[in-house]
Each structure stands twice: as structure tokens, then as C-alpha cells.
Amino acid sequence: MGEFLQVVSYEEAIVRLKSRLKRPGEEQCPLGRSRGRILSRAIASPEDMPGFNRSTVDGYAVNALDSFGASESLPAFFQYIGAVPMGAAPDFSISSGQCAWIPTGGMLPAGSDAAIMVEYTERLGDDTILVYRPGSPGENVMRKGEDISRDADLFAEGHLLRPQDIGLLASLGISRVPVIKPYLVGIISSGDEMVPIEMPPNPGQVRDVNSYSLAAAVEERGHRAQIYPLVRDDADQLKRMVAQSLEQNDITLLSGGSSVGIADLTLDVLLSFEEAQLLFHGLAVKPGKPTMGVSIKDRLVIGLPGHPVSALMMFNVLSHQLLDSRRNLHVHARLTQNIASQPGRDDFVPVYLSEGAGHWEARPLLGKSGLMSILAQANGFIHIKAVDQGLKGGEVCRVYPF
Amino acid sequence: MGEFLQVVSYEEAIVRLKSRLKRPGEEQCPLGRSRGRILSRAIASPEDMPGFNRSTVDGYAVNALDSFGASESLPAFFQYIGAVPMGAAPDFSISSGQCAWIPTGGMLPAGSDAAIMVEYTERLGDDTILVYRPGSPGENVMRKGEDISRDADLFAEGHLLRPQDIGLLASLGISRVPVIKPYLVGIISSGDEMVPIEMPPNPGQVRDVNSYSLAAAVEERGHRAQIYPLVRDDADQLKRMVAQSLEQNDITLLSGGSSVGIADLTLDVLLSFEEAQLLFHGLAVKPGKPTMGVSIKDRLVIGLPGHPVSALMMFNVLSHQLLDSRRNLHVHARLTQNIASQPGRDDFVPVYLSEGAGHWEARPLLGKSGLMSILAQANGFIHIKAVDQGLKGGEVCRVYPF
């Protein structure tokens, strides 16, 4: 029986994988197709917003000074000189004592610094406007660059583009954005007992679950998955399939039988490639001890546990920092019961979150290891750190969405 | 100046829209492409899982009764009769006093009801196994149907398929799933001051933001958006464009100038269609008062406010219950300051969530109305109910992801 050769913490595993993963490529993406993509570089505003001093009300553009002292009983008189058009710059300016009609969104004419709401004015004949309230400089005006100034930082590198971000970029005329190219990820399941899901399994056979769940998880993180045909527990077959995936992908995910013998076979096959380097073999993590990482030239191979729940949990734990920077918000929840944990090992425990009175409750999904039904029940997981000996019922802990 | 004809609460608006929205279509989707799709009907398990009594350890299959009383000093003796193959049913059964080698995942032979871990056994010659610990019936065995029993409910109608769900369905051999067909949503922006984002705006013009942000929001909810060319504030042009969108889409989203005059023009155009029916005109909501809903035959038209922040907030509020059933987890957060709110109106306030010590803090993004920079800053929003007069700083409230 083999042993784990290089057991490391999951943080160290991520550091080692990251050091070998080539930087993602970059491409220019049309804004209208950029939802869910990740910025490959920071974006600063190319211009001031608004681009001109803009009225936020329907009313009259004035020099505020001219309205000082105006009141219901003693209105200020203004000479009406025209109307600011919507969608164009006014072709006149305001001198002392003058005013111009301005619609919401209109551009303040030179010489004006405030807009008086129409409610506080009265028209007297063709060219006189009475103003019944004093305005102050800047009142009802959004100044040029007040919302966003030119060169202001909008989004950092690694930002995941949401609908509102796309709106903001559109408002600044940015019609293409630099985004990272998805990684290509090959997925290989192996095991003598595995059958494709379309085939009825004989007694003792199980269907290949990991190809489906891992491919979906890869795509959920914005990358591209390719599923390879099932492989028997056979070194030659496995080597041929891994070679093909290495050629076509940046990352290859293997998942196979969880017994140590099969893991040995996988490790032997991986290390037989030229320039193969063992990054780690064994993680101080539950579930997922048999996880392994190998770099082959500039490609990565990650061997995941065979059990579907463990494989998916480990993929989530490793890929969260490796493959994207999107942050799903964690929630704070009260544990419904104690969870024991062995110190020196990070535990990731699936939980069912439900709503209590004004707080979330997290029920750990324990029971026999390897229950598939946990997949349908879990909507979050808890991380019990290696230094901790477990968590107490009633304790408030972080739950990450799953 | 026009008035709002039928001001309703946002809940009532949703009820009215829902009553006119035709049920979504249904289609069969290959499992491998079903991530993010919504089930159109509940799914029950077609079979027991596991499909046979399965060992969870490497060891020996026995009848537990035969091992009772076994100890380190007084082991039980078993006759070894063979090995259970991986991926096939054993072609023998276990009689009293007999045992068989069984690998993890192997099928228990008839006559056996427990698996003794190999660690507690010793092989004595070719056909004798010593067992040093008593087993109990069912020990180290996952019974047929114990994980998931046949006909058990797996997922309800309306469930959003996640990677783990796809894994579970694969494990049960379900290779196609019934999902709802996306709605087709037409998006029309109007306004004399609007220009397409590729064009440099003249002073006083603004770029068309809503087409981009609304299309992205529609697609984020799993539906299909089609953007129509910009329309001037002109009844004939608007009517032609709406007619085209009605023909091609289930739902049409309009967003235009926020001034009441333009809203009147939009409403007149919509009500001029045959079988048009006003569902509501004006919402008791901030921001989003000018929102309107009209049904035309079996199609819906929703008029959204012109301002991008208001338009997107209102789309989120209305579409959450109208267009999908996915539930993003809300978080509980402490408000950093008071927020005033007018009773009788639902307020939706964008906030910036950040992490305090063991809890979230929510900073309301207030300031001048209409700031576009709020779009980049907000990562959540708060709902202040119509009955409430605001929220106090320090209060814990629900924040919905944005």
C-alpha cells in the first residue's frame, strides 16, 4: 500500500498550484457580451461624468447671486433670454439678471451656476420671469465630473462584470472591455466500476458522476470544460488519455477510485511524463485527503478524490482562489449542533441553511460519509480551520454558498 | 402635465403582471448543458441509491452474528470462500461461518450483512481468516436505497440547477431534464437626448445605458434579451418599434425620459394597441414611481424609469418574482447610519456591504439622486417596507445581493 508522499495544507496546495499555473490570456470583449466575465486589468474612467454642468430639475438657469434675497413677497425679476435645448449645448450665455429655461438633464449655459425649480417661478409676459426663492450656487446642478471624474478608478483587475457594471461602462462610452480568457480544463474519470450515465449499470457498477458535476463547476467559474471518455484502471490507457488532455488543456482534473492502490497508479502515470513535478500528494483536509497536484511543463494536473461529494468540495476549495476572483457573499449562521473536528486538518462541512428569526441557521449534513443525497440538500459549507477542535452548537460561523 | 393613473404597491404590480404573463414553455435539456436552468417540474428518484447493499470499507463480508464475541485474545475463525469483484455482482453467497474479501464499493453477497475492516482481521493460510473485533448487522454497509430511495423527491419545480444537482442527477442516470424555456424579452430605449454608446455624445446628449444594463440583467436571470434601435420621443416611431417587439417577444421593457410628458407619450402609444389593458401606472416605490405595466393580448410591456440606477433597481424588484425563482441568499448587516423613509411607499436603497468583526456592515449609498457611480459601488440593496418610517443606524437589516 502506498503512502501520501507530500501532505500539505490546502493553502499551501493553492500556493504551489498557483505558482505553476500560467497567467490567463487576455481578450477584448464587446460590452454587450461581457456579463460574468472577469476584467484582466483595472479600468479608469476615460471622461468626466457628467461631461457638463447639468440641471437636475425643470426650471430656469440663473446666476444664483442674482436671486439672493428673493422671497414670496419680494420676488427677483429676471430677463428671459431663451431655452436650453435637450441634447445640445446652448448657443448663448447668461449675463447678470438674465435666465433661460432649462429641462432636467439640460446643460447649464455659461454664466449660470444654479437652476431654480419651475415651481418657485412665475412667467410674466414674454421675457420676464419672477423667482420667489433664492437659489444658491450649485443648487439643482450636477457639476461636470461630480459623479465620476476623469481617470477615477472604476473597477480593479479581477472584477467580475455585473449588469450594473455594464451599465456604468456603457454610460462612459466603453464598448469593449479587456477580460481574461477562460482556462481550458480537461476532465478525466477513471475506474473499472464506472459506466457512462446513459448505460444501465450492472450490480456493482456506478455511473460516472464527476465528469458531469466537475464540468458544470468549471463552467460556473467561467472556464471551459472538456470531458474525456471514461478510463479503466489501467496505466497505459490512463497515460494516453492524460497525454491528450495535456495537449488540449491548461488544467486536467482527474478523479478516480479512492482506494490507495488506484491513487498510486495515477501518481505513477503522472510522474512518468517528461518534466513532471510533484507539487503535493495528500492534503490535510477532510474530505479530500487523497487529492494530488502535479505540474507537467506549463500544465497542471489535479487528482481529486473519487467520491462525488469530496471531489466537488475539493474542486470548490481549490478553484475558488485558483480559477477566479469572484466572491460569493458568505452569510453568518448559527450552528444547530456541535461539530467535532480533528486539529491539524482543515474540515469543510456541508450544511443546510435555513432562516430563523432574523438570522440564518446552519444544520451540518453529517451522517454516513459518502451520501450522495447531501449534494441535493447542501446549500452551503463551513470551514473549520486546522487550529480548531470543532465548533459548538449555537456558535455563529461563516457559511459559504455551495 | 399628466398624472399617475393607477398607483399600486410593488407587490400588487407583480400580482397583476404575473396574472397576464403566459406560463413559460418547457423543453428537455441534456444534463450536461443544464447548469443554471430552472426545472419546469419536480423530479423524483427513478431508483434506489445505492442499488445494492454496498461495502464502505476494504475488508471481509460476513454474517455479523458469526463474529459476536470475537476479541483480540479470542478471534473468530471464518472460512474464506472468495473475493467480491469490483463492478460486478458476486456469483456466490455466504453461509454461516464463511467470509469473502470485499473492496470499498463492492456488493455484499447474499447471506452477509456486515463488512469487517481489513485492519481487524488476519489471514491464516489460504482459506482461513481471523476476525479480532465483533461486527454488528449493517456495519460498514450502505443498504440498498439508504441514501436515496426510489420515488423520493429530489428537486421541486422551479429549482435552479447547480453543479452538485447535475452530479446527483447523473448518479441516478437522468441524462435529460425538463426545464423552462427562457422568455424572450425585447428592450427599447427612447429619448431625444440618447445616443448609441459607440457615438461620441454632443454636449447635452447622453449615452444609451439601459439597453446594455437591462439586457445583461435579463440574461442573468436566464432569459433572452433582444435590443432594439434607439427611438426618438416620437409617438409614431415608438409605436412601430413596440409593435415589432410585441411580435417577437413575450415581454417588452421600455425605458425613456423620466419627465412626465414623455411618460404620457409612452402610455398613449401603449394604450393605442388593440386589446391593450393598463395594469398599473405609477408605483408606490422609491426609486421607480413612473414605472408602468400594460398587457397587450398575451404580451406584457413594462415601462421603466429612464434613469439607469432606477431602471435597474425596478427591473430587479419586479423580475425577482416574475422571471425566475432563484434565490440569492440575503445577508444580515448592521446599518452604518439612519435612513429616512416616507411611510406608504416601499424604498429600495442601494448599499455597500463590507465586513466588520464577525458581521456585515451596510453603508447606504445616498447622496444626490441619480449618481451613476452608485452602480459601481453598490453590492446590495435594502428594502424598507411601506409601513416603516426608516431604519436606524446600528439596526440589523436584510441586504439582498445586487
Whole-model pTM: value is 0.89
Measured between CA atoms, how close is B130 to chain A, in angstroms? 21
B188, B191, B197, B202 alpha-carbon torsion, rounded to 10°: 170
Residue B329 grid cell = 441568499
| Residues B304, B191 share a domain | yes
On whether residue B4 sits in a domain, the answer given is no
B361 Cβ under 8 Å from any chain A Cβ: no
A166 Cβ under 8 Å from any chain B Cβ: yes
On whether residue A197 sits in a domain, the answer given is yes
On whether residue B76 sits in a domain, the answer given is yes
| Residues B311, B190 share a domain | yes
| Residues A164, A30 share a domain | yes
From the list A86, A163, A209, the residue facing B192 with the nearest CB is A86
pLDDT of residue A169: 97
With beta carbons under 8 A apart, name residues in chain A contacting B173: 197-198, 200-201, 207
Over residues B88-105, the mean pLDDT reads 93
With beta carbons less than 8 A apart as the criterion, state whether B319 and B217 touch. Answer: yes
pLDDT of residue B88: 85
From the list B207, B210, B376, the residue facing A165 with the nearest CB is B376
With beta carbons under 8 A apart, name residues in chain A contacting B329: 329, 331, 353, 360, 379, 401
| Residues A175, A40 share a domain | yes
- Who's near B203: CB < 8 A, 6+ residues apart? A51, A52, A88, A89, A107
B373 Cβ under 8 Å from any chain A Cβ: yes
**Distance from C-alpha of A305 to C-alpha of A295, rounded to nearest angstrom:** 18
| Residues B318, B190 share a domain | yes
Concatenate the DSSP letters of all residues of B15-35 into one string: HHHHHHSPPPPEEEEEGGG-T
pLDDT of residue B357: 82
Which of A256-260, B59-63, B231-235 has the highest average model confidence (pLDDT)?
Answer: B59-63
| Residues A175, A30 share a domain | yes
On whether residue A298 sits in a domain, the answer given is yes
Q: Do A167 and B58 touch (CB under 8 A)?
A: no
B371: pLDDT strictly greater than 60:
yes
With beta carbons less than 8 A apart as the criterion, state whether A164 and B373 touch. Answer: no
Q: Which residue has the higher pLDDT, B256 or B85?
A: B85
DSSP class of residue A103 equals: -
| Residues A86, A66 share a domain | yes
On whether residue A1 sits in a domain, the answer given is no
pLDDT of residue A1: 38
Tens-digit pLDDT profile for chain A (402 aa)?
Answer: 357 778 999 999 999 999 999 999 999 999 999 999 999 999 999 999 998 999 989 999 999 999 999 999 999 999 999 999 887 889 999 999 999 999 988 899 999 999 999 999 999 988 999 999 999 999 999 999 999 999 999 999 989 999 999 999 999 999 999 999 999 999 999 988 889 999 988 877 889 999 999 999 999 888 999 999 999 989 999 999 999 999 999 999 999 765 556 778 899 999 999 999 999 999 999 888 889 999 999 999 999 988 898 999 999 989 888 887 666 689 999 999 999 998 899 999 999 999 888 889 999 998 766 788 998 889 999 999 999 989 999 999 999 988
| Residues B154, B211 share a domain | no
Residue B52 grid cell = 445494492
Q: What is the CATH number of the domain that holds A84?
A: 2.170.190.11
From the list A52, A192, A216, the residue facing B86 with the nearest CB is A192
B107 Cβ under 8 Å from any chain A Cβ: yes
In A, minimum Cα distance to B142 occurs at A368
With beta carbons under 8 A apart, name residues in chain B contacting A170: 197, 207-209, 211-213
Q: What is the CATH number of the domain that holds B223?
A: 3.40.980.10
Lowest-confidence pick of B21-35, B195-209, B318-332, B367-381:
B318-332
Average pLDDT of the residues of chain B: 92
On whether residue B280 sits in a domain, the answer given is yes
Q: Do B170 and A312 touch (CB under 8 A)?
A: no
**Distance from C-alpha of B134 to C-alpha of A17, rounded to nearest angstrom:** 45
Measured between CA atoms, how close is B277 to chain A, in angstroms? 30
On whether residue A2 sits in a domain, the answer given is no
The torsion angles phi and psi of A148, rounded to 5 degrees, stand at: -140, 125
| Residues B163, B125 share a domain | no
Q: State the ipTM, two decimals.
A: 0.88
Number of domains observed in the structure of chain B: 4
B141 Cβ under 8 Å from any chain A Cβ: no
Q: Using CB atoms and an 8 Å cut-off, which of residues 73-102 of chain A contact chain B?
A: 84-89
| Residues B34, B162 share a domain | yes
| Structure confidence at residue B1 as a pLDDT band (50, 70, 90) | very low
Q: What is the CATH number of the domain that holds A154?
A: 3.90.105.10
| Residues A300, A310 share a domain | yes
Which residue among A296, A322, A348 closes a domain? Answer: A322
Which residue among B304, B322, B340 closes a domain? Answer: B322
Q: Do B332 and A329 touch (CB under 8 A)?
A: no
With beta carbons less than 8 A apart as the criterion, state whether B262 and B189 touch. Answer: no
| Residues A345, A203 share a domain | no
Secondary structure, 3-state, B135-191: CCCCCCEECCCCCECCCCEEECCCCECCHHHHHHHHHCCCCEEEEECCCEEEEEEEC
From the list B167, B169, B401, the residue facing A329 with the nearest CB is B401
- Identify the domain containing residue A65 by its residue range: 54-142
- Who's near A396: CB < 8 A, 6+ residues apart? A332, A333, A334, A335, A359, B358
A204 Cβ under 8 Å from any chain B Cβ: yes
B240: pLDDT strictly greater than 50:
yes
B86, B93, B146, B171, best to mutate vs chain A, most A CBs in 10 Å: B171
With beta carbons under 8 A apart, name residues in chain A contacting B104: 258-259
Measured between CA atoms, how close is A178 to chain B, in angstroms? 17
Q: Please report which residue ranges of A93-234 form alpha helices under DSSP H.
A: 163-171, 210-220
Quickly tell me which residue has 429530489 as its cell.
Answer: B154
From the list A168, A258, A402, the residue facing B376 with the nearest CB is A168
On whether residue B1 sits in a domain, the answer given is no
Q: What is the CATH number of the domain that holds B339?
A: 2.40.340.10
| Structure confidence at residue B325 as a pLDDT band (50, 70, 90) | low
From the list A148, A213, A220, the residue facing B170 with the nearest CB is A213
**Distance from C-alpha of B166 to C-alpha of B99, rounded to nearest angstrom:** 38
pLDDT of residue B327: 62
